[in-house]
């Protein structure tokens, strides 16, 4: 059984990174935790979670299509932290429901690096499922 424990992070695409940083840092008091300029990514600490800001003209941002507007995607994906589960079991559960999955990879989130997988919800929103703690398999 899959059990969501918390939101780990959300990823927002932006055409005005400076304005987004003013809003989230100056107004809402989030702090910059990590910057990866080569990818166009700035990660902000928001309590126990992260808000990732991705410039639409960057390597990552271009993957989401048009800039945020009426017919363009603003949210790249949401990451849900889930209770520990064997990777093969999680894949089996998802596949039984007809849900396609990506390969597991080590990714950075609100609690540091951990294993995660990407899926799509029924409206084609990208959902990352990230283990609350890493389970090692033999």
> Is 90 exceeded by the pLDDT of residue 9?
yes
Q: Domain for residue 46, yes or no?
A: yes
The CATH code of the domain that includes 37 is 3.10.180.10
pTM of the model: 0.71
d(CA 42, CA 58): 12
Q: Domain for residue 120, yes or no?
A: yes
**Neighbour-count burial of 135, counting CB atoms closer than 10 A to its CB (0-12 exposed, 13-18 middle, 19+ buried):** middle
Which whole number is the average pLDDT over 11-32?
88
Range of the domain at 12: 4-131
Q: What confidence score (pLDDT) does residue 14 get?
A: 84
Q: What confidence score (pLDDT) does residue 132 get?
A: 74
Q: What confidence score (pLDDT) does residue 72 get?
A: 58
d(CA 51, CA 41): 10
CB contact set of 116 (below 8 Å; sequence gap of 6+):
79, 104, 105, 107, 109, 128, 129, 130, 131
Count of the separate structural domains present in the chain: 1
Q: Tell which wins on pLDDT, 133 or 58.
A: 58
Tens-place pLDDT, residues 99-130: 899 999 999 988 889 999 998 876 577 889 99
Q: What confidence score (pLDDT) does residue 12 get?
A: 86
């Amino acid at each position: 059984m899959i059990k969501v424990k918390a939101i780990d992070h959300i990823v927002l695409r932006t055409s005005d990174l400076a304005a987004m940083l003013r809003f989230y840092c100056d107004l809402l008091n989030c702090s910059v935790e990590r910057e990866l300029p080569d990818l166009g990514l700035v990660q902000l600490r928001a309590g126990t979670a992260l808000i990732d800001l991705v410039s639409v003209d960057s390597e990552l941002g271009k993957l989401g299509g048009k800039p945020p507007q009426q017919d363009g995607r603003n949210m790249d994906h949401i990451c849900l932290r889930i209770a520990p589960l064997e990777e093969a079991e999680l894949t089996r559960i998802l596949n039984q429901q007809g849900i396609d999955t990506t390969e597991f990879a080590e990714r950075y989130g609100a609690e540091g690096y951990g294993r995660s997988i990407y899926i799509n919800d029924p409206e084609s929103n990208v959902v990352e499922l990230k283990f609350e703690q890493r389970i090692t398999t033999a």
